[in-house]
Amino acid sequence: MKLVLIGIQGAGKSTQGNMLAQELGIPYLSSGHIFREMAKEKTETGRWLKETLNAGILIPDKTALKIIKEYLEKPEYIKGYILDGFPRTVPQAEELIDIDKAIFIDVSDREALWRISGRISDREDETLQAIRKRIEIFHDLTSPVIEYYRDRGMLAQVNGEKSVDEVFAEIMHLLKH
């Protein structure tokens, strides 16, 4: 099974992704984690990624697609995966055609900000300015991705403001139907 998790930062994608990975026996892959790991590298690309992420700006489609597609070609993803944080734009969704379901974990901006501000983080890309920029980008660029998958009958939408266990149960129910 190949799943995509969509939601604003703080929606609980990584929590649900890890729970789904354990339940379904397929790996969980976060595009943000991949990009942050690459940003630590002392290379031109690493430095560029660090600056881009710290500014709260999305990685351009062509670069993001190249990186994610390379990762998904690894043997551990052949039987399936849970992809968090990608695709973020319609062109990325159009290129990532081999998925079974997109799961939209829906939370309000206010709830997302509250959750993020309540967690301890030493990440340079979790400043209030960077978070607000990513929320704005989510609404501008990623909301059309939700409609893209909805129009194709591939979207499962859950209320992400419920408890972790309730959200997980709802996702599992939607995957079985």
Q: In the 3-class helix/strand/coil scheme, how is the chain assigned residue by residue?
A: CEEEEECCCCCCHHHHHHHHHHHHCCCEEEHHHHHHHHHCCCCHHHHHHHHHHHCCCCCCHHHHHHHHHHHHCCHHHCCCEEEECCCCCHHHHHHCCCCCEEEEEECCHHHHHHHHHCCCCCCCCCCHHHHHHHHHHHHHHHHHHHHHHHHCCCEEEEECCCCHHHHHHHHHHHHHC
Count up the domains in the chain and report the number.
1
Note down pLDDT in tens along the chain; length 177 residues. Answer: 999 999 998 899 999 999 999 999 999 999 888 888 888 989 898 899 889 888 877 788 898 898 888 888 889 999 999 999 899 899 999 998 789 999 999 999 888 888 887 766 666 666 777 778 778 888 898 899 999 999 999 999 999 999 999 999 999 999 987
CATH at 120:
3.40.50.300
Q: What is the pLDDT of residue 126?
A: 67
Q: What is the pLDDT of residue 117?
A: 76
Task: Provide the domain limits for residue 48.
Answer: 2-176
Q: What is the pLDDT of residue 145?
A: 95
Q: What is the pLDDT of residue 141?
A: 86
Q: Is the peptide bond before 87 cis (omega within 30 degrees of 0)?
A: yes
Q: What is the pLDDT of residue 24?
A: 96
Q: What is the pLDDT of residue 21?
A: 97
Q: What is the pLDDT of residue 166?
A: 98
Q: What is the pLDDT of residue 25?
A: 96
Q: What is the pLDDT of residue 156?
A: 96
